[in-house]
Structure 1
Amino acid sequence: MSAENAAVNFSELVNKNKQTLARLKESPRLLLHRRDGEDLVLTTAARAEQDRTVVSAATRMLSALARREPGSVQLLLDILPDAFPWVRFLPERDVHAFAVELVGTMRAADSVGNSAAVAQLLAAWQHTAEVHSDPELLSALTRDHDADYGPATDPRELG
Protein backbone atom coordinates (compact mmCIF):
# COMPACT_ATOMS: atom_id res chain seq x y z
CA MET A 1 0.00 0.00 0.00
CA SER A 2 1.46 3.36 -0.97
CA ALA A 3 1.51 6.40 1.30
CA GLU A 4 -0.96 8.10 -1.04
CA ASN A 5 -3.50 5.30 -0.53
CA ALA A 6 -3.15 5.01 3.24
CA ALA A 7 -5.80 7.45 4.37
CA VAL A 8 -8.58 7.36 6.94
CA ASN A 9 -10.82 9.78 8.72
CA PHE A 10 -9.43 11.08 12.00
CA SER A 11 -12.47 9.66 13.78
CA GLU A 12 -11.34 6.17 12.77
CA LEU A 13 -8.12 6.70 14.73
CA VAL A 14 -10.14 7.78 17.73
CA ASN A 15 -12.76 5.02 17.52
CA LYS A 16 -10.63 2.13 16.23
CA ASN A 17 -7.17 3.12 17.31
CA LYS A 18 -5.52 -0.33 17.33
CA GLN A 19 -6.78 -1.28 13.89
CA THR A 20 -5.93 2.13 12.48
CA LEU A 21 -2.41 2.18 13.95
CA ALA A 22 -1.84 -1.34 12.61
CA ARG A 23 -2.08 0.15 9.12
CA LEU A 24 1.30 1.82 9.73
CA LYS A 25 2.83 -1.63 9.21
CA GLU A 26 1.51 -1.56 5.64
CA SER A 27 2.45 2.01 4.81
CA PRO A 28 5.10 4.47 6.06
CA ARG A 29 2.51 7.21 6.54
CA LEU A 30 -1.16 7.43 7.28
CA LEU A 31 -3.12 10.46 6.14
CA LEU A 32 -5.76 11.43 8.67
CA HIS A 33 -8.60 13.46 7.17
CA ARG A 34 -10.16 15.94 9.58
CA ARG A 35 -13.52 17.59 9.15
CA ASP A 36 -12.74 20.72 11.14
CA GLY A 37 -9.07 21.26 10.45
CA GLU A 38 -6.07 20.56 8.33
CA ASP A 39 -5.39 16.91 7.52
CA LEU A 40 -2.63 15.25 9.55
CA VAL A 41 0.05 12.72 8.65
CA LEU A 42 0.84 9.97 11.12
CA THR A 43 4.09 8.02 10.98
CA THR A 44 6.38 6.25 13.39
CA ALA A 45 9.22 8.11 15.07
CA ALA A 46 11.72 5.74 13.42
CA ARG A 47 10.36 6.50 9.94
CA ALA A 48 10.32 10.23 10.64
CA GLU A 49 13.97 10.03 11.70
CA GLN A 50 14.80 8.06 8.55
CA ASP A 51 13.17 10.76 6.42
CA ARG A 52 15.11 13.46 8.26
CA THR A 53 18.37 11.55 7.79
CA VAL A 54 17.78 11.19 4.04
CA VAL A 55 16.89 14.86 3.57
CA SER A 56 19.87 15.94 5.65
CA ALA A 57 22.24 13.73 3.64
CA ALA A 58 20.90 15.05 0.33
CA THR A 59 21.21 18.62 1.60
CA ARG A 60 24.81 18.11 2.70
CA MET A 61 25.71 16.50 -0.64
CA LEU A 62 24.10 19.30 -2.66
CA SER A 63 25.78 21.92 -0.52
CA ALA A 64 29.19 20.27 -0.86
CA LEU A 65 28.71 20.02 -4.62
CA ALA A 66 27.80 23.69 -4.90
CA ARG A 67 30.86 24.78 -2.91
CA ARG A 68 33.34 22.94 -5.13
CA GLU A 69 34.95 24.28 -8.27
CA PRO A 70 33.09 26.86 -10.39
CA GLY A 71 32.12 24.04 -12.78
CA SER A 72 30.03 22.52 -10.02
CA VAL A 73 27.84 25.60 -9.84
CA GLN A 74 27.31 25.32 -13.58
CA LEU A 75 26.31 21.67 -13.14
CA LEU A 76 23.81 22.72 -10.50
CA LEU A 77 22.43 25.39 -12.85
CA ASP A 78 22.20 22.78 -15.62
CA ILE A 79 20.15 20.33 -13.52
CA LEU A 80 17.76 22.86 -11.97
CA PRO A 81 15.32 22.75 -14.93
CA ASP A 82 15.05 18.97 -14.49
CA ALA A 83 14.17 19.33 -10.82
CA PHE A 84 12.15 22.53 -11.17
CA PRO A 85 10.85 22.93 -14.76
CA TRP A 86 9.45 26.36 -13.96
CA VAL A 87 12.97 27.87 -13.70
CA ARG A 88 12.92 28.05 -17.50
CA PHE A 89 10.74 31.14 -17.11
CA LEU A 90 13.24 32.94 -14.88
CA PRO A 91 15.84 35.32 -16.31
CA GLU A 92 19.33 33.77 -16.23
CA ARG A 93 20.52 35.98 -13.36
CA ASP A 94 17.50 34.89 -11.32
CA VAL A 95 18.23 31.20 -11.96
CA HIS A 96 21.68 31.73 -10.49
CA ALA A 97 20.26 33.69 -7.53
CA PHE A 98 17.69 30.94 -6.96
CA ALA A 99 20.39 28.24 -6.96
CA VAL A 100 22.57 30.11 -4.48
CA GLU A 101 19.63 30.94 -2.22
CA LEU A 102 18.27 27.39 -2.37
CA VAL A 103 21.53 25.77 -1.33
CA GLY A 104 22.10 28.27 1.47
CA THR A 105 18.55 27.99 2.78
CA MET A 106 18.67 24.19 2.64
CA ARG A 107 21.89 24.18 4.70
CA ALA A 108 20.46 26.60 7.25
CA ALA A 109 17.15 24.74 7.49
CA ASP A 110 18.93 21.42 7.93
CA SER A 111 21.02 22.90 10.75
CA VAL A 112 17.86 23.70 12.72
CA GLY A 113 15.85 20.66 11.63
CA ASN A 114 13.00 22.67 10.11
CA SER A 115 12.34 22.70 6.36
CA ALA A 116 9.61 25.37 6.40
CA ALA A 117 11.99 28.03 5.07
CA VAL A 118 12.92 25.82 2.11
CA ALA A 119 9.26 25.23 1.26
CA GLN A 120 8.61 28.99 1.46
CA LEU A 121 11.62 29.75 -0.73
CA LEU A 122 10.51 27.25 -3.38
CA ALA A 123 6.98 28.66 -3.40
CA ALA A 124 8.24 32.25 -3.69
CA TRP A 125 10.58 31.47 -6.59
CA GLN A 126 7.89 29.44 -8.35
CA HIS A 127 5.51 32.39 -8.08
CA THR A 128 8.24 34.62 -9.51
CA ALA A 129 8.58 32.21 -12.44
CA GLU A 130 4.80 32.29 -12.93
CA VAL A 131 4.94 36.08 -13.24
CA HIS A 132 7.75 35.82 -15.81
CA SER A 133 5.73 33.24 -17.77
CA ASP A 134 2.91 35.74 -18.37
CA PRO A 135 4.09 38.74 -20.45
CA GLU A 136 1.05 40.86 -19.59
CA LEU A 137 1.39 40.25 -15.87
CA LEU A 138 5.14 40.84 -15.97
CA SER A 139 4.59 44.11 -17.81
CA ALA A 140 1.93 45.25 -15.35
CA LEU A 141 4.13 44.47 -12.36
CA THR A 142 7.36 45.92 -13.71
CA ARG A 143 6.34 49.08 -15.58
CA ASP A 144 6.75 52.48 -13.99
CA HIS A 145 3.47 53.82 -12.72
CA ASP A 146 3.54 57.59 -13.20
CA ALA A 147 0.10 58.20 -11.77
CA ASP A 148 0.06 59.34 -8.18
CA TYR A 149 -3.30 58.76 -6.60
CA GLY A 150 -2.37 60.59 -3.43
CA PRO A 151 -2.22 59.26 0.08
CA ALA A 152 -4.13 56.08 0.86
CA THR A 153 -7.19 56.28 3.06
CA ASP A 154 -6.72 54.81 6.51
CA PRO A 155 -8.76 51.56 6.44
CA ARG A 156 -10.09 52.31 9.93
CA GLU A 157 -11.84 55.36 8.50
CA LEU A 158 -13.70 53.28 5.93
CA GLY A 159 -15.61 51.18 8.48
Structure 2
Amino acid sequence: MSAVTSERTVQSSELSRNSGEVFRAAEQGPITVTRRDGEPLILMRSEEFRRDHEGLEVASIIVAAALSPDSVPLHQRLAQSFGWINFLPEKERTACAAELVMVARACAAVAHYERLLVTAAGWRSTAEAFAEGYTPDHELTWLDEPEPLPDPRTA
Protein backbone atom coordinates (compact mmCIF):
# COMPACT_ATOMS: atom_id res chain seq x y z
CA MET A 1 0.00 0.00 0.00
CA SER A 2 1.20 3.53 -0.61
CA ALA A 3 2.76 5.20 2.33
CA VAL A 4 -0.11 6.52 4.43
CA THR A 5 1.86 9.53 5.52
CA SER A 6 2.22 12.01 2.75
CA GLU A 7 4.49 14.87 1.92
CA ARG A 8 1.53 17.19 2.22
CA THR A 9 -0.77 17.72 5.18
CA VAL A 10 -3.68 20.14 5.14
CA GLN A 11 -6.23 21.16 7.70
CA SER A 12 -9.88 20.42 6.96
CA SER A 13 -10.53 24.17 6.81
CA GLU A 14 -8.05 24.45 3.92
CA LEU A 15 -9.93 21.71 2.11
CA SER A 16 -13.08 23.80 2.47
CA ARG A 17 -11.44 27.08 1.41
CA ASN A 18 -9.18 25.80 -1.39
CA SER A 19 -10.70 22.50 -2.45
CA GLY A 20 -9.48 22.80 -6.04
CA GLU A 21 -5.87 23.25 -4.96
CA VAL A 22 -6.09 20.37 -2.47
CA PHE A 23 -7.68 18.09 -5.08
CA ARG A 24 -4.96 18.96 -7.61
CA ALA A 25 -2.33 18.12 -4.99
CA ALA A 26 -4.08 14.80 -4.29
CA GLU A 27 -3.68 13.94 -7.98
CA GLN A 28 0.08 13.95 -7.32
CA GLY A 29 -0.07 11.79 -4.18
CA PRO A 30 -1.99 11.18 -0.97
CA ILE A 31 -2.87 14.18 1.20
CA THR A 32 -3.41 13.94 4.94
CA VAL A 33 -6.38 16.03 6.04
CA THR A 34 -6.20 16.84 9.75
CA ARG A 35 -9.37 17.52 11.74
CA ARG A 36 -9.92 19.02 15.19
CA ASP A 37 -12.77 16.63 15.96
CA GLY A 38 -11.42 13.31 14.68
CA GLU A 39 -8.70 11.17 13.20
CA PRO A 40 -6.87 12.52 10.15
CA LEU A 41 -8.18 11.37 6.78
CA ILE A 42 -6.22 10.45 3.65
CA LEU A 43 -7.33 11.94 0.34
CA MET A 44 -6.03 10.04 -2.69
CA ARG A 45 -6.99 9.01 -6.21
CA SER A 46 -9.38 6.05 -6.23
CA GLU A 47 -7.26 4.21 -8.82
CA GLU A 48 -4.23 4.47 -6.56
CA PHE A 49 -6.25 3.15 -3.63
CA ARG A 50 -7.66 0.31 -5.74
CA ARG A 51 -4.18 -0.70 -7.00
CA ASP A 52 -2.78 -0.62 -3.46
CA HIS A 53 -5.65 -2.79 -2.26
CA GLU A 54 -5.22 -5.21 -5.17
CA GLY A 55 -1.46 -5.39 -4.53
CA LEU A 56 -1.99 -6.17 -0.86
CA GLU A 57 -4.49 -8.87 -1.78
CA VAL A 58 -2.02 -10.55 -4.18
CA ALA A 59 0.76 -10.24 -1.61
CA SER A 60 -1.38 -11.83 1.10
CA ILE A 61 -2.13 -14.81 -1.15
CA ILE A 62 1.57 -15.26 -1.86
CA VAL A 63 2.54 -14.94 1.80
CA ALA A 64 -0.14 -17.42 2.87
CA ALA A 65 1.05 -19.93 0.28
CA ALA A 66 4.71 -19.39 1.16
CA LEU A 67 4.12 -19.82 4.89
CA SER A 68 1.90 -22.88 4.56
CA PRO A 69 3.55 -25.80 6.37
CA ASP A 70 2.34 -28.13 3.63
CA SER A 71 4.89 -30.38 1.93
CA VAL A 72 3.34 -29.53 -1.44
CA PRO A 73 5.69 -27.47 -3.67
CA LEU A 74 5.15 -23.72 -3.49
CA HIS A 75 4.04 -23.41 -7.11
CA GLN A 76 1.27 -25.94 -6.47
CA ARG A 77 0.12 -24.00 -3.41
CA LEU A 78 0.10 -20.78 -5.43
CA ALA A 79 -1.85 -22.50 -8.22
CA GLN A 80 -4.75 -22.94 -5.79
CA SER A 81 -5.31 -19.19 -6.05
CA PHE A 82 -3.59 -18.48 -9.36
CA GLY A 83 -4.83 -21.35 -11.52
CA TRP A 84 -3.04 -19.98 -14.59
CA ILE A 85 0.27 -21.18 -13.09
CA ASN A 86 -0.70 -24.69 -14.19
CA PHE A 87 -0.26 -23.66 -17.85
CA LEU A 88 3.43 -22.92 -17.27
CA PRO A 89 5.98 -25.66 -17.88
CA GLU A 90 7.35 -27.16 -14.63
CA LYS A 91 10.60 -25.18 -14.72
CA GLU A 92 8.74 -21.91 -15.25
CA ARG A 93 6.27 -22.72 -12.45
CA THR A 94 9.15 -22.95 -9.99
CA ALA A 95 10.73 -19.74 -11.32
CA CYS A 96 7.36 -17.95 -11.20
CA ALA A 97 6.75 -18.96 -7.58
CA ALA A 98 10.24 -17.88 -6.51
CA GLU A 99 9.98 -14.53 -8.28
CA LEU A 100 6.52 -13.80 -6.90
CA VAL A 101 7.73 -14.42 -3.33
CA MET A 102 10.86 -12.32 -3.84
CA VAL A 103 8.96 -9.40 -5.36
CA ALA A 104 6.20 -9.59 -2.73
CA ARG A 105 8.81 -9.36 0.03
CA ALA A 106 10.54 -6.42 -1.66
CA CYS A 107 7.24 -4.61 -2.19
CA ALA A 108 6.27 -5.14 1.45
CA ALA A 109 9.58 -3.60 2.49
CA VAL A 110 8.73 -0.35 0.69
CA ALA A 111 4.94 -0.51 1.16
CA HIS A 112 4.30 -0.19 -2.58
CA TYR A 113 2.86 -3.11 -4.55
CA GLU A 114 2.72 -1.93 -8.17
CA ARG A 115 5.80 -3.99 -9.09
CA LEU A 116 4.15 -7.12 -7.69
CA LEU A 117 1.06 -6.56 -9.83
CA VAL A 118 3.25 -6.05 -12.92
CA THR A 119 5.26 -9.20 -12.16
CA ALA A 120 2.14 -11.32 -11.59
CA ALA A 121 0.57 -9.95 -14.79
CA GLY A 122 3.73 -10.80 -16.73
CA TRP A 123 3.72 -14.38 -15.50
CA ARG A 124 0.01 -14.65 -16.22
CA SER A 125 0.58 -13.43 -19.79
CA THR A 126 3.30 -16.04 -20.20
CA ALA A 127 0.92 -18.71 -18.92
CA GLU A 128 -1.74 -17.52 -21.37
CA ALA A 129 0.76 -17.82 -24.22
CA PHE A 130 1.52 -21.41 -23.22
CA ALA A 131 -2.21 -22.11 -22.93
CA GLU A 132 -2.60 -20.89 -26.53
CA GLY A 133 0.06 -23.32 -27.72
CA TYR A 134 3.24 -21.26 -27.65
CA THR A 135 6.36 -23.29 -27.03
CA PRO A 136 9.89 -21.92 -26.69
CA ASP A 137 10.91 -23.70 -29.91
CA HIS A 138 7.87 -22.32 -31.78
CA GLU A 139 8.97 -20.18 -34.70
CA LEU A 140 7.57 -16.68 -34.41
CA THR A 141 7.51 -15.51 -37.99
CA TRP A 142 5.93 -12.20 -37.09
CA LEU A 143 9.14 -11.30 -35.25
CA ASP A 144 11.34 -11.86 -38.30
CA GLU A 145 13.43 -8.98 -39.51
CA PRO A 146 11.21 -6.65 -41.54
CA GLU A 147 12.21 -5.68 -45.01
CA PRO A 148 13.44 -2.10 -45.16
CA LEU A 149 11.02 0.38 -46.68
CA PRO A 150 12.14 3.04 -49.12
CA ASP A 151 12.59 6.50 -47.68
CA PRO A 152 9.41 8.43 -48.66
CA ARG A 153 11.39 11.67 -48.94
CA THR A 154 13.42 10.30 -51.84
CA ALA A 155 10.58 8.56 -53.64
TM-score norm. by structure 2 comes to: 0.49
More helix by share: 1
Q: Which has the higher contact order (CA 8 A, sep 6+)?
A: 2
TM-score norm. by structure 1 comes to: 0.48
